[in-house]
Structure 1
Amino acid sequence: MTFTQAELDYLATQHIGRLATVAPDGQVQNNPTNFFVDADTGTIVIGGGALGRSKKFRNVQRGSTVAFVVDDLATVDPWAPRGIEIRGRAVALTDQEPPVPGMSREVIRITPTRIVSWGLDGPRASRAV
């Protein structure tokens, strides 16, 4: 398993993350997006209404590295941030079964190479996978 059970449990409660990609000219783009965890393959799947026409999709098609962050505040008093950063290899896929009806047939699949999590099940954890 790529993700710990605590990470999978946390990701299951969240609906939005931020995907950072890099354009060929070196410009970084970071956008909120929905996501789905494929626990069987240990990957993250990004989908959308017109994902194939997006800059993030084109960046990934051109070989961009990616970082995907999901985070929130468990409480504000006391201050308790928690989250997960997933760095990895991404592929832009076409003609895929949409993760949710009504989404486009393009998806971005992220295979983690490094996972950093905090506030989920003890001290901050960082590991290569």
Structure 2
Amino acid sequence: MIFTSAELDYLSGQQLGRLATVAPDGQVQNNPVGFFVQDGTIVIGGHALGASKKFRNIQRGSTVSFVVDDLASVDPWVARGIEIRGTAVALTDAEPPVPFFSREVIRLAPSKIISWGLDGTRSSRTV
């Protein structure tokens, strides 16, 4: 299993993450995106994802980082989240994970997972 049970539980309870990509000129872009966990990968979609800069950046070979985080409590301060780095592919004719997404999706296969605050410990591992 790529994700721990605590990571899967956390991801299944979240709806938005932030995807960072890099344009060919080196400019970094970071955007909120909808996502799903599917077969050990992260599937990112949207209404017109194929027309987006992040989609084009990935088509051109961008490295990626995907972060999902929140505050479990503010008193006491308890932050939790997960960062997933890996290889992403931009697919142009995929079955969308939900009906209102376009047929363009980004599939992120994790190579490094960093999580914090999910089960009381910090975890960093290469998968």
TM band (smaller chain): over 0.9
Q: Which residue of 2 aligns with 1:5?
A: 5
Higher mean alpha-carbon deviation, 78-87 vs 98-107, is at 98-107
Count of matched residue pairs: 127
Unaligned 5+ runs, structure 2: none
**How far does residue 4 in structure 1 lie from its aligned partner after superposition?**
0.1
Q: Which residue of 2 aligns with 1:97?
A: 95
SS of residue in 2 equivalent to 1:121: coil
TM-score, normalization: structure 1?
0.97
Q: Deviations over 1:18-43 (max 9, x none)?
A: 000000000000000000001xx210
Q: Deviations over 1:70-127 (max 9, x none)?
A: 0000000000000000000000001111111021000000000000000001221000
Q: Which residue of 2 aligns with 1:55?
A: 53
**Which residues in structure 2 correspond to 1:29-40 (within 5 Å)?**
29-38=29-38
Among all aligned residue pairs of Structure 1 and Structure 2, give the percentage whose two residues are the same amino acid.
Answer: 77
Unaligned 5+ runs, structure 1: none
C-alpha RMSD of the superposition: 0.5
